[in-house]
Amino acid sequence: MNDMRILERDVDTNTIKIAARGVQVYYGDNHAIKDVDVDIQDKTVTAFIGPSGCGKSTFLRCLNRMNDTIDICRVEGDIHIDGEDIYDKRVDPVQLRAKVGMVFQKPNPFPKSIYDNVAYGPRIHGLAKNKAELDEIVENALRRAAIWNEVKDRLNAPGTGLSGGQQQRLCIARAVATEPEVLLMDEPCSALDPIATAQVEELIDELRQNYSVVIVTHSMQQAARVSQKTAFFHLGNLVEYGETGNIFTNPEDPRTESYITGRIG
């Protein structure tokens, strides 16, 4: 843990973007998230850490109602984004997901060309007035995801033909291209080499200027590098949530400490 660069970053604002209260998630009889309360701030990077199977992905998927697509999944409690209850009947989950973008744990490019993969969201939401504008959006997204140089000569090649790490960056570009207000990233760097990881982290830092980013990661160093707030999950409970610096230097809960120092998980 000595090499960990813990930067004292000031959190730009204190506006709360996402407020979750008493969230419970059940997969059939499996109680996967137990009574989680959390406030995620705007223009901030929040990291979710915790051992495998503790419910990080599950909680992340609650924030854009992706759990709706799983038949056996049941979500209880309140989640408000910008003060609006996203589980309200009047909220259209489709609209919500355009606002709250997501990068999945496993890269899942569509079996289309690289260009069409990135252009998918902008096309659906009508973000580009013409082809030139669309081209620009695609190029920008690919550049921000640090993959432009690798694919600029083969934009018409299938996205599934890329390497695992390239696919993951393609998925990041795809999510960024829709200009979401909140970006949920589930282990976006799990298949990336250090250089690409650094580039993605740069992107995350840049996104923070305008958006709120939630990132799930198994790398303590990464959490420490990119996030201002960190939440530690364990067995479905939110054990500790606070300033990243505090969590890593003097955690309050013994479970957090033993996880960070590598004793559980």
Ligand X SMILES: Nc1ncnc2c1ncn2[C@@H]1O[C@H](COP(=O)(O)OP(=O)(O)OP(=O)(O)O)[C@@H](O)[C@H]1O
Binding site for ligand X (CB under 6 A): 27, 30, 32, 50, 52-58, 70, 105
Q: Which residues of 133-169 are buried (b: 16+ CB within 10 A; e: fewer)?
A: ebeebbbebbebbbbbebbeeebeeebeebeebbbbb
> What is the sign of the dihedral through the CA atoms of 73, 219, 211 and 128?
negative
Q: Which is nearer to other proteins, 120 or 148 (CB)?
A: 120
- Residue 58: CB minimum distance to ligand X, A: 3
Token couple for 63:
């924030």
In the complex, which residue's CB is closest to Mg ion?
57
Cα(126)–Cα(120) distance, integer angstroms: 10
Residue window 37-76: x/- pattern of binding to other proteins, with contact defined by CB under 8 A: ---------------------------x-x--x-x-----
Token couple for 2:
């000595």
Cα(224)–Cα(6) distance, integer angstroms: 6
Query: Does residue 104 touch other proteins according to CB under 8 A?
Result: yes
Residue window 150-189: x/- pattern of binding to other proteins, with contact defined by CB under 8 A: ----------x----------x--xx--x-----------
**Residues at the interface with other proteins (CB under 8 A):** 64, 66, 69, 71, 94-99, 101-102, 104, 106, 108-112, 120-121, 124-125, 160, 171, 174-175, 178
